[in-house]
């Protein structure tokens, strides 16, 4: 059970002067209960790739499959595919339309044909997942604060009970507190068996929370692997628009002058090592 992409290519405006190759020979895999991060500069093709994962866009060549179902245009399984893969767009609060939160949360399950008596429990479960209580159900989504709106928008996707959740820059514009709440939610979902695919340019989140990372550079896959491999890659190569998080850059710099230093993005680990070096150095 996984989302699998093989040798995907996608070209915008084929045959016109605007023709651009957005994705070129990209492959990835993400199982349920795994966290894959897709990182890259703006325009690297991250969002385009995300929209292939549930049949919003289709590959020119190569394949995308979700739990064994091929994602192709006019697939008889399209409804099952879109239901299995929840997609949260950038600034998802801008898609809210309903008169009250209950209607907003029922939209996806109703479209998937969930029986009406099952919808209310799904809605309140989704609401509690994002940390809001049932008192919100009767409120108008348009009158909530920015942070609450985003939570409702994410809950409206969760209410469809996706097996995978694909999120495109979900932390954009959030303050650090809300960012923390959101990453905690994703970690919890992952633990409960949802596959998480996070599109982000925040390497700090990607390195700290993912099982694997796909790094895109101008539509091509620059590297795909565990966070530690990606970190090693970034230390050795420069990728436009991507910069190592400060702690990782610091540890890499120390490592260049002292090979014993750990290559890490973890603050606590780096601190332990620096302190050990200090006490060690002071010893006669």
Partner 1 sequence: MKFLNNLTFGQYVPADSPVHSLDPRCKILAVPVVLTGIFMAGHVAAFAAWAGLLAALAWYSRLPFRLVLNSAKPVLILVAFTALIHIFFTDGTPILKLGFVTITREGVAAAAQMGLRLLLLVLFASFLTLTTKPMELSDGLERLFSPLVRFGFPAHELAMMMTIALRFIPTLLTETDRIMKAQLARGASFDRGSLWKRLKAFIPVLIPLFVIVFQRAEELATAMEARCYRGGEGRTRMRPLRWSGRDTAALAATVAVVVALAAGERSLLP
Partner 2 sequence: MKTDARTVCELRDVTYVYPSGASGRAALSGVSLEVREGEWLALLGSNGSGKSTLARHLNALLIPTQGDCIVYGMSTRDPANVFAVRSAVSMVFQNPENQIVGTVVDEDAAFGPENQGLPPAEIESRVERALEAAGLLAKRAKPTYTLSGGEKQRLAVAGALAMDAPCLVLDEPTAMLDPRGRADLLAIMRALHDGGKTIVHITHRLEEILWCDRAVVLAGGRIEWEGGVEPLLRQDGALRKWGLDAPPLVALWRELGEETGLALPRIPTLEGMIDALCPLQ
Judged by the rule CB under 8 A, the positions of this chain that interact with partner 1 are 12-13, 22, 48, 51, 54, 56, 79, 82-83, 86-87, 89-90, 92, 94-98, 107-108, 110-112, 142, 156-157, 160
283 burial (CB, 10 Å; 0-12 / 13-18 / 19+) is: exposed
Q: How far is the CB of 128 from partner 2 (least distance, A)?
A: 22
Q: Specify the residue, 190 or 201, whose C-beta has the smaller distance to partner 2.
A: 201
Give CA separation, 202 vs 1, 136, 196, 246, 273, in Å. 28, 31, 15, 12, 25
Told to check if 173 binds partner 2 by CB under 8 A, we report yes
- Residues with Cβ within 8 Å of 19's Cβ and at least 6 positions away in sequence, in order, are 11, 12, 13
Residue entry with tokens 């700090």: 204
DSSP secondary-structure letter at 16?
S
Q: How far is the CB of 82 from partner 2 (least distance, A)?
A: 28
Q: Specify the residue, 71 or 207, whose C-beta has the smaller distance to partner 1.
A: 71
The number of angstroms, rounded, from the C-alpha of 118 to the middle of its chain's C-alpha atoms is 28
Tokens of 68: 């064994």
Told to check if 271 binds partner 2 by CB under 8 A, we report yes
Q: Indicate the helix (H) or strand (E) that contains 28.
A: strand 20-31
Q: Which stretch binds partner 2 (CB under 8 A): 21-29, 80-88, 160-168, 169-177?
A: 169-177
User: Nearest 5°: CA angle at 18, between 14 and 22?
Assistant: 65
56 binds, among partner 2, partner 1, none (CB under 5 to 8 A by kind): partner 1
Q: Specify the residue, 9 or 250, whose C-beta has the smaller distance to partner 1.
A: 9
Chain residues in the site for partner 2 (CB under 8 A): 41-43, 145-147, 172-173, 175-178, 180, 201-202, 204, 241-243, 245-247, 249-250, 253-254, 256-258, 267, 270-271, 274-275, 278
């Amino acid at each position: 059970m996984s989302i699998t992409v093989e040798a995907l290519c996608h070209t915008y405006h084929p045959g016109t002067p605007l023709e651009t190759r957005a994705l070129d020979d990209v492959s990835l895999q993400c199982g349920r209960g795994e966290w894959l991060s897709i990182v890259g500069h703006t325009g690297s093709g991250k969002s385009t790739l995300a929209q292939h994962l549930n049949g919003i866009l289709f590959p020119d060549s190569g394949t995308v499959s979700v739990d064994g179902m091929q994602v192709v245009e006019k697939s008889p399984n399209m409804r099952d595919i879109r239901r299995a893969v929840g997609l949260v767009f950038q600034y998802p609060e801008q898609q809210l339309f309903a008169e009250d939160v209950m209607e907003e949360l029922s939209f996806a399950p109703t479209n998937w044909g969930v029986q009406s008596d099952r919808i209310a429990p799904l809605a309140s479960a989704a609401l509690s997942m994002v940390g809001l209580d049932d008192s919100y159900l009767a409120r108008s989504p348009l009158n909530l604060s920015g942070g609450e709106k985003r939570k409702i928008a994410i809950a409206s996707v969760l209410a469809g009970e996706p097996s995978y959740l694909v999120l495109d820059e979900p932390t954009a514009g959030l303050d650090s507190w809300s960012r923390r709440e959101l990453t905690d939610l994703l970690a919890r979902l992952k633990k409960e068996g949802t596959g998480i695919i996070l599109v982000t340019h925040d390497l700090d989140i990607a390195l700290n929370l993912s099982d694997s990372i796909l790094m895109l550079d101008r539509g091509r896959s620059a590297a795909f692997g565990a966070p530690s491999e990606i970190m090693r890659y970034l230390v050795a190569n420069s990728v436009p628009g991507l910069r190592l998080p400060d702690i990782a850059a610091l540890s890499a710099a120390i490592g260049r002058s002292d090979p014993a230093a750990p290559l890490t993005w973890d603050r606590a680990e780096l601190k332990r090592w620096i302190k050990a070096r200090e006490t060690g150095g002071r010893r006669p």
